[in-house]
């Protein structure tokens, strides 16, 4: 994608990867609008980045999505980049009881939300000379983490949807790029000093380099072996990956 002269909406832009991307795009002179449910956090980011703007959005609520989409199109007619970044990552137990409300919330936020928001904005994006949809999935779309089974499944679903979306938008002004992050040191799970977590600034720097190209999927080098899931050998790969996590648990809280 072209990294300058854009008007960009980033969901979940008040923290973590979303904030990192928002600030990186903002520094390049783009018009950046961050969206999220918590106004106080939006205001904090906007105060730290003069010229950035925010809009309250409940990605779980179809009515909120439609209302925000209408407002965005009216207020920012040059809007041409949508970053579907908002997500939640609760732990679960696929061998036991899965809390229904948590499951539905995870699927709604991580998978249905991006589809609904993109659907609400897609005709506007098509009307722009050039537009980009960026879907934030995860390396766990390819190698699921057993203790986050539902989360991993939603990211696999969004990856699959991105593949179809990219194909169906061929011949339009809209391209689709996917970001598949590793474990990044944010508060999505636990922000700390675990050496397995990639520093946020390093992730953002490498991701921006990838986004500046026409590659359909941006994957940092550190996780490419996991992304290159070896087909019929994936069962052993995934077992080994999850066994390593069992032996060295991810800290929580």
pLDDT of 150 reads: 98
The per-residue pLDDT for range 116-164, each reduced to its tens digit, is 999 999 999 999 999 999 999 999 999 999 999 999 999 999 999 999 9
Q: Percent of the chain beyond pLDDT 70?
A: 96
Query: Quick one: pLDDT at residue 209?
Result: 97
Q: Looking at the 3D structure of the chain, how many domains does it have?
A: 1
Among the ranges given (14-23, 86-95, 189-198, 207-216), the one the predictor scored with the smallest mean pLDDT: 189-198
Predicted pLDDT at 190:
54
pLDDT interval class at 229 (50, 70, 90): confident
Each residue's pLDDT tens digit, 86-114: 999 999 999 999 999 999 999 999 999 99
Helices and strands in the chain, H and E counts: 9, 7
CATH of the domain at 220: 3.40.50.720
Host H or E run for residue 134: strand 131-136
- Residue 195: what pLDDT? 72
Q: What is the mean pLDDT of the chain?
A: 94
In a domain? residue 231: yes
Q: What is the pLDDT of residue 75?
A: 98
Is 252 a member of any domain? no
Choosing from 151, 161, 183, 203, the catalytic residue is 151
2 within some domain? no
Picking from 135, 1, 118, 19, the residue whose alpha carbon sits closest to that of residue 65 is: 118
Residue 160 inside a domain? The answer is yes
User: Which range of residues forms the domain containing residue 102?
Assistant: 7-247
pLDDT band at 230 (very low <50, low <70, confident <90, very high): confident
Distance (Å, whole) CA 28 – CA 53: 15
Give the separation between CA 156 and CA 133, rounded to whole angstroms.
17
189 pLDDT higher than 70: no
- Whether 151 is a known active-site residue: answer yes
Burial bucket for residue 199 (CB in 10 Å: 0-12, 13-18, 19+)? exposed
Query: Which band of pLDDT confidence, cut at 50, 70 and 90, is reported for residue 171?
Result: very high
CA distance linking residue 81 with residue 141, whole number of Å:
23
Domain assignment present for 73: yes
Secondary structure of residue 99 in the 3-state scheme: coil
Inside any domain, residue 94: yes
Residue 230 covered by a domain: yes
Question: Binning pLDDT at 50, 70 and 90, where does residue 192 land?
Answer: low
- The whole-number pLDDT of residue 135 equals 98
Asked whether residue 1 is domain-assigned, the answer is no
Given a cut of 90, is residue 70 above it in pLDDT?
Answer: yes
């Amino acid at each position: 994608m072209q990294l300058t002269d854009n008007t960009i909406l980033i969901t979940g832009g008040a923290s973590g990867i979303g904030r990192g991307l928002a600030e990186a795009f903002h520094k390049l002179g783009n018009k950046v609008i961050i969206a999220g449910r918590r106004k106080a956090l939006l205001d904090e980011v906007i105060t730290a980045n003069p010229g950035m703007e925010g809009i309250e959005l409940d990605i779980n609520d179809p009515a909120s999505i439609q209302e925000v989409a209408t407002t965005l199109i009216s207020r920012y007619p040059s809007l041409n980049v949508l970053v579907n970044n908002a997500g939640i990552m609760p732990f679960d137990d696929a061998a036991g009881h899965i809390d229904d409300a948590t499951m539905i919330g995870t699927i709604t936020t991580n998978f249905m939300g991006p589809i609904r928001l993109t659907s609400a904005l897609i005709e506007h994006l098509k009307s722009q000379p050039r537009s980009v949809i960026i879907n934030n999935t995860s390396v766990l779309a390819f190698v699921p983490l057993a203790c986050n089974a539902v989360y991993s499944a939603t990211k696999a679903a969004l990856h699959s949807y991105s593949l179809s979306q990219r194909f169906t938008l061929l011949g339009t002004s809209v391209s689709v790029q996917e970001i598949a992050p590793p474990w990044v040191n944010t508060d999505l799970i636990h922000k700390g000093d675990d050496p397995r977590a990639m520093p946020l600034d390093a992730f953002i720097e490498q991701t921006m380099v990838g986004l500046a190209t026409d590659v359909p999927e941006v994957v940092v080098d550190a996780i490419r072996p996991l992304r290159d899931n070896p087909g019929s050998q994936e069962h052993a790969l995934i077992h080994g990956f999850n066994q390593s996590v069992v032996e060295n648990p991810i800290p929580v809280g």
